[in-house]
Amino acid sequence: MNSQYKIGDISRLFNLSSEMIRYYEKMGIIDPIRDEKNGYRYYSIFDIYILLECLQYQNLGMKIKEIPNFINFNYREKLQNQLHIFQRRLNKEIDYKVMLKKRVTELAMQLEVADLNLSNYWVKKINKKYAFDFVDGIGDDYDKVNTSEDNIRFLLNDKYINFIDSYVCFNKDKDEWYFAIDEEYFNGLSISYKKKYTIIPAHYCLCTVIEMGPLGQFSHECYEAAVMYAQDKGYHVQLPIRGIIRGRGYEGDRFKRYLEIQIPIIKNSQIA
């Protein structure tokens, strides 16, 4: 015996409103039998199966209006194409999540060792950076923000914002602060940006971490010891010296700012 189901049964089963079920009917996706005497709609088990599959197709990115044509004409070919489209989208999402996981792991490690690296030194290759103007200044004395609205909208994009670093290049007459994205992530995110940005080239750098001190007290003197260390080790310092914020906030009752100093270097023996 074939059971029949009222619209309320279907509504409870799928947690759909009666209006939504009638919309599926209007679109020709399900086809209930209408009792002419009382006007009730009665749905078969076949309608339930079709409705379930319809919800699956929606979850694969199909619009309700597309589904009648999808299930009534060249069904298998269209389903295969839709599955391939969904597969490609999943691959992109997975690639992004893997990259984001790597970034979050890096940030967590940098915070974990920031205080341990105070006044310690190491050499590493710093990747090329794609840098977007933010503000100029000297020490903790800053000019007016000079980034564009286009840059801000771009950088605040949900896809990009977690890959941005606060980066600085120290010059004699001013400090240039940027929002910077590492080349690895810039390429991995397939960023195509037509507006102005600055490329900070890759370089081997002598690195250390310093505390910038309370607000208003940071100056170039904070990294002079690092420059002297580089020179004592026989390195030729190439300007500008760079820095990247590794942490900023309160620890107990103290406001701390950890800045990783990156000093581009070459061996004196390599200078022609």
Q: What confidence tens digit (pLDDT) does each residue in 76-115 have? A: 888 888 899 999 999 999 999 999 999 999 999 999 999 9
Q: Are 140 and 149 in contact (CB under 8 A)?
A: no
Residues 6+ apart with CB under 8 A from 216: 140
Residues 197 and 70: their CA atoms lie apart, in Å, by 46
Residues 110 and 105: their CA atoms lie apart, in Å, by 9
Residues 53 and 47: their CA atoms lie apart, in Å, by 10
Q: In one letter, which amino acid is 72? A: N
Dihedral sign for Cα atoms in the order 191, 192, 196, 200: positive
pTM: 0.81
81, β-bridge pairs: none
**61-84 residues labelled b (16+ CB within 10 A) or e (exposed):** ebebeebeebbeeeeeebbeebee
189, β-bridge pairs: none
Instruction: Answer whether residue 194 shows pLDDT above 90.
Output: no
Q: What are the structure tokens assigned to 131, written together?
A: 């840098």
* Closest of 110, 154, 107, 100 to residue 131, by C-alpha: 154
Residue with tokens 């390429």: 187
DSSP 8-class letter at 248? E
Residues 1 and 153: their CA atoms lie apart, in Å, by 62
Q: What confidence tens digit (pLDDT) does each residue in 5-49 have? A: 899 999 999 999 999 999 999 998 998 998 888 878 899 999 999
Residues 131 and 49: their CA atoms lie apart, in Å, by 54
Q: What confidence tens digit (pLDDT) does each residue in 197-231 have? A: 999 999 999 999 999 988 888 998 888 999 999 99
- Report percent pLDDT > 90 for the chain: 68
